[in-house]
A and B are shown apart, each in its own frame.
Chain A
Amino acid sequence: MVDYLLTEEQKMIKELCHKIALEKIKPVAAEYDEKEEFPWPIVKILADSDVCGVYIPEQYGGMGAGIMGMAIATEELSWGCGGIALAFAATGLGTFPILLFGNDEQKKKYLPVIASGKKLAAFALTEAEAGSDAGSIKTTAKKDGDYYILNGTKQWITNGGEADIYSVVAITDKTKGARGATAFIVEKGTKGLEFGKKEKKLGIRASATREVIFTDCRVHKDNILSREGMGFIVAMKTFDSSRPGVAAQAVGIAQRALDEATAYAHQRKQFGQAISSFQGIQFMLADMATQVESARALVYSAARMIDAGSKDIAKVSAMCKLLASDTAMKVTTDAVQIFGGYGYMREYPVEKLMRDAKITQIYEGTNQIQRSVIAMNLIKELAKNK
């Protein structure tokens, strides 16, 4: 084991979240995956265990364990099930805009209920024609006195329909381009806020993915995050902070695949001996282990940089997401290979890991976008140093 010199508090989070993953999530993961149900009973356990508030400051009822605490928790919970863990991780994504840009009132109103696990949150940016190109969103927010009227449809919103608190980015002034978007907090139950049907997915099937539909939805100006025109800044800064979370999810899934593959290789006998005694398998396991550990190391470094208040986090944050998700895809694929025919069967746990891993290469910015972010920053740094 690599010693990451975790603090007492971080060790506690790791230990507790692993216990929850092992005892409460792992035994039901296959069932939730099969039924595509939202894991409310697990959310309740996370709430009762104070896990929902790990990354929220103590003054708002959380543990104040920062992005590092969030990453550790997400990693361990994802070891149990990447889909179930997402109820927690996607709430984080929906909460970061409030944490980073909310005013005191907004923080006091929303953070404690999220920290206590009474309410889940979601982040609503993506639309049918605005994926990687977030600038082309069509949802509008038109000013009407003290209110804004939202119209449009957000697509593939994780926790959509289940969450009570939505951070939404909408266009307030088309003419201003990148400065024309604004972020709002919209609560479930607001008139004009509805949800589409639940999507059927390849993996992370315990998570809920829905359309979030605004039809003349009136939102008070007090619900604006930061100020009008800051929508894309809010979104980009949110992603900079949230990417270690997605990366941690990928590390958790990858670690589980490694654990399953190692145990299986040790127990499975062919040609009269355990297949772990074959060098072909040994090399695969060794590579998998090394890759998982490198991904984890980079995720923790990024999380620590963010917690330390470093300004330049976009690059490392993108790097850790890129490395961890590519690693998860590779390691889970290799785990299926080590399991052979059994690995392809739903009765065994590894095919699900492979399905769950795929999304980590896609959401919160595809890995192609991550590479663009990294490259842009390289060029920026070069220009600065000249």
Chain B
Amino acid sequence: MNIIVCIKQVPNTTQVRINPETNTLIREGVESVINPFDTYAIEEGVRIKDKTGGKVTVVTMGPPQAEDALREAISLGCDEAILVSDRKFAGSDTWATSYTLSQTIRKIKDYDIIICGKQASDGDTAQVGPGISAHLDIPQVTYVRKIEEISAGHAKVERLTEEGYEIIESKLPLVITVVKEINEPRMPSLKGKMRAKNAQVLKWNADDIECNVNDIGLNGSPTRVIKIFTPPPRKGGEILKGDTHEVVAKAADLLKNVIIG
């Protein structure tokens, strides 16, 4: 089975701190990591490969340093890695990003299943996975929490919903986006890390993947960010003082209207 995993490199939020004076993110010195949701996508891809044979190709669109994320993916069991990088991609919104990734996947040509994390931790849009499937015009199942069956041309999966889950069957090729519940990602292995160090990462630009210049980067992005601002900081909390009885009475008083209203 040919499995494609799409990943994104994001700032590590465990290191992101808020500047208490300006209430903005301190990004300096924050390392880049694989988007947490994508680690589940990688793991699921490798598990499918372990079961059905085949190979896992990991793809990312990003600046040259996103190569680190791809090498990490190789250390976790992916076989091939493609970095799609071009200055022309700058300013891509989710429309243009999903177009660019879909062109990359078209060039890879042979694929049975495409796996994405449900969303990226920096943008939180959850739009790129479905966008890829729409551009490729293949079916999708979002929020997958379990792959029940997967074999040539066919898959049966569970999709997490607000109330429980749905069981959905689909033909392949298929795009799925996965949630954390689907697996517990493995640790990289030393041999995997060695392989990752020496692995060749393919680098494709806009021409390589035959992009329509009007569909990529800022040109290809229907949306424009016109303002970025920090919201007013939350009012510093009021610490309720007193013994258990007193603080509980105070809290109940303060919250009564919130609860009833």
Contact = CB atoms under 8 A, between A and B. Distances in A.
B197 A49 contact: no
A153 to B, nearest CB: 38
A48 B190 contact: no
Interface of B: 186-194, 197
A220 interface: no
A13 B188 CA distance: 11
Contacts of A45: 186-187
Interface in A128-165: none
Contacts of A23: 187
A20 B186 CA distance: 10
A12 B187 contact: no
A12 B186 contact: no
A12 B189 contact: no
Most buried by A among B186, B187, B194: B187
B13 to A, nearest CB: 15
A13 B189 CA distance: 9
A11 to B, nearest CB: 10
11 contacts: A12-B194, A12-B197, A16-B187, A16-B188, A16-B190, A48-B186, A49-B188, A50-B191, A50-B192, A63-B190, A63-B191
Contacts of A9: 194
- Chain A contact-residue range equals 10 to 19
Contacts of B192: 50
Interface in A1-57: 8-9, 12-13, 16, 19-20, 23-24, 45, 48-51, 54
A24 B185 CA distance: 11
Contacts of B193: 12, 16
B190 A54 contact: yes
B186 A51 contact: no
A24 B187 contact: yes
Nearest to A50: B190
A49 B194 contact: no
A19 B187 contact: yes
Nearest to A20: B187
Nearest to A61: B191
Contacts of B191: 50, 63
A50 B186 CA distance: 12
Contacts of A8: 197
Contacts of B188: 16, 19, 49
B197 A48 contact: no
A54 B188 CA distance: 14
Contact of B187 (A13, A48, A54): A48
Contacts of A49: 186-190
Contacts of A51: 190
A42 to B, nearest CB: 10
Contacts of A19: 187-188
Centre residue among A8, A9, A50 by max chain B CB count within 10 A: A50
B91 to A, nearest CB: 34
Given A8-B197, A9-B194, A45-B186, 8 more contacts: A13-B190, A19-B187, A45-B187, A49-B187, A49-B188, A50-B189, A50-B191, A54-B190
Interface string A47-75: 01111001000000001000000000000
B36 to A, nearest CB: 12
A28 to B, nearest CB: 13
A13 B192 CA distance: 12
A9 B190 CA distance: 9
B212 to A, nearest CB: 42
Contacts of A63: 190-191
Contacts of B190: 12-13, 16, 49-51, 54, 63
A21 to B, nearest CB: 11
Nearest to A15: B193
A243 B92 CA distance: 57
